Amino acid sequence: MNKTAQTVESAAIGGTFHIEDVYPLIDGGRFPVKRIVGERVDVWADIYRDGHDVMAAALIWRLEQEREWRRAPMSHHSNDRWGGSFVPDQPGRYVYAIEAWTDEFATWKHGFELKQKAGADLTLDAIEGAGMLTKAQSGGHAAAAVILKQCEDFLQTGDTAPLLTDELQDAMAESQLRPDLTRSQLFPFVADRPRARNGAWYEMVPRSQGQTPGQHGTFKDCIARLPDVAAMGFDVVYLTPIHPIGKTNRKGRNNAVTAVDDDPGSPYAIGAAEGGHDAVHPELGTLEDFREFVAACMSHDMEVALDFAIQCSPDHPWLTQHPQWFKQRPDGSMRYAENPPKKYEDIVNPDFMSEDAGALWNALRDVVLFWIDQGVKIFRVDNPHTKPFPFWEWLIHEIQLRHPDVIFLAEAFTRPKLMKGLAKLGFTQSYTYFTWRTQKWELEQYLNELTAYPEHDFYRPNFFVNTPDILPYHLQSGEPWMFKSRVALAATLSSAYGIYNGFELLEHDPIPGKEEYLDSEKYEIKVRDWDKPGNIKPYISELNRVRRENAALQQTSNLHFLPIEDGNVIGFVKESVNQTNSVVVVIALSRDPHEIWLPLNDVQIGIADDRRNVAAVENLMTGERYPVEWGGIHVRIDPMRDPAMLFRCLA
């Protein structure tokens, strides 16, 4: 074949149409876009070709493992920009693409009508149009019936009117052949269940849920705590690791290198003679006890999230069963984990690049599948940024093909691009820098980043106010207004947020000079009075009630900030995905009383073309209503009583 022939063949294979600037896409389609099942997915693209023929385009989609495509028409808007939409009806991993082709009958009709207006002879043109009807063959029965009738009417009367009806054009659009049909590449997206975007998390250390000092808590103690947690309005109960804890190099209190006999060790030093990642710590109870805990959570309309920490104590069964999965030092000893200057003498990490890495990857996948079989559908993954990206992309894909409703939360406090990289390759939710964002300008800057394109299409933030590892400096004073302000910010700025147990009791004693808890329960068992005077449980309950009753607070992306002049008061408005609910939030960032003007003149509510200015607002905590006059309302905030005000917008 000569060079010219090759060029012609290559051009033919490439197709007539150009399909460009497709939205939504992550890195050109390398990673999946994230959406929620049951919600409309809007797709846009620039589609064009040479010449003046009439074009048609369609959006096609299917579950990744299916063969049959579903289709929806795309409409031309302006400047070769086309749009279409579809609604994924079940959770799963999907692919979609765009098809474009020439609508030959519509092209004929358009030309015929122009000639008709010009008074040209249309005899041959009419015969050509009728001939196109005889070639139609791929449509449904209804379309075929329309085509047959219109064709017969023309042949019997010679009148061209039957060839020019909209009904016939629609039937031909469905039925005619598409010899120049061009399909774009396939683009991935994931449709998750609503919990992937929205939920209030309560982090619980199981062994500290008992009521007897010095006695290890059990799953039954955890069950006894559930009514209290449910009363605060939480959706997810997240457990730190529940597996057997190693004894070799066990850490003592406050991370002491040497433990005494009654020190329980860190739950992150996973594995002992009793088992590894697929076993439960004997002092917590049995596997059956754990299943009862899962069932009890379900009875309170809550889910269980389990910590998935890929690390082993030196006593983990894998070290003797599969020593090739771990790195050894020159003297033959196992290399313990380090994050200089931190040392974790009680932990060794698997070697993901070992010669037997495939077996290790499969074993870790099987651990996740094991806990799914026990009723767990949410996993908080510890330090995923220290493991290979290809592993996570493979693991999450493997799990979600079998269990599309499983959710993975990435606990990665690391560099921003690395955190976003983890979200792109499949993590459903991600920890964030919210924990350290305290000033108005940096909160606004950070949320504007997370809610912009393309971040809002792949990065779902989960705002934790504290963790077992992090006691932020701004909480170390123990001031109730600050605890309320921070949980209000987390619960309203993000649709997913969490607290670590003890936050509701205002626990705030730090290791001097550090953002760490003194006497951390990572290394000891604590017993608490969960109704301790001064707790803010009622406040958290009210926040979660408002969240559940207002869909605007169950999403993060549709948010914009209000221009409040006071630099220590932040204000914003959020609107639900279906535009039926809008909430304005005002939160004080300092302890002093604040008198502010809340500008609402630019806030509009309502669906699609029926948008209108806000006429009044309703205080969601008190039920009081205030008319919007002169484009806003006057607000007084006393943070010592309540640093946050939440208003539903009324038309």
Task: Output the known binding site for alpha-maltose 1-phosphate.
Answer: 251, 311, 346, 383, 522-523
Q: Which of 388, 442, 436 is nearest to 413 (CA)?
A: 436
382 assigned to active site: yes
Q: Which of 315, 411, 455, 542 is catalytic?
A: 411
Q: Which amino acid is at 354?
A: S
First to last CA, the chain: 71
152 is known as an active-site residue: no
Q: What would the DSSP string read from start to end of 218-247?
A: -HHHHHHHHHHHHHTT-SEEEEPP-S-B--
The type of residue at 244 is P
Positive or negative torsion for Cα 170, 171, 174, 178: negative
Q: Phi and psi at residue 418, in whole multiples of 5°?
A: -70, -40
Is 573 in contact with 542 (CB distance < 8 Å)? no
Q: Can you tell me the distance from the alpha carbon of 329 to that of 164, in angstroms, rounded to the nearest whole number? A: 82
Report helix, strand or coil for 380: strand
Query: Residue 599's closest CA among 613, 620, 582?
Result: 613
Catalytic residue among 125, 192, 303, 382: 382
DSSP letter string over 493-510?
A: H-SEEEEETTGGGT--PB
CA 179 to chain centre: 40
- Do the bridges between strand 496-500 and strand 462-464 make them parallel or antiparallel, or are there none, so unpaired? parallel
User: Please, which contacts does 454-457 make with residues 24 or more away whose CB atoms are closer than 8 Å?
Assistant: 454/24, 454/25, 454/26, 455/420, 456/556, 456/557, 457/24, 457/26, 457/33, 457/34
3-state secondary structure of 114: helix
Residue of 578, 571, 624, 576 lying closest to 602 (CA atoms) = 571
| CA pair distance 88, 104, nearest whole angstrom | 31
The pair of three-digit structure tokens given for residue 358, joined into one six-digit string: 């495939």
What whole-number distance in Å separates Cα of residue 595 and Cα of residue 569?
A: 10
- Strands 81-86 vs 41-48: parallel, antiparallel or unpaired: antiparallel
What's the distance, CA 271 to chain centroid? Answer: 31
454 prior amide bond cis, ω within 30: yes
- 647 membership: H or E segment, kind and range: strand 644-650
Question: What residues are paired with 629 via a beta bridge?
Answer: 632
Q: What span, in angstroms and rounded, lies between the C-alpha atoms of 626 and 634? A: 10
Q: Give me the active site residues, please.
A: 382, 411
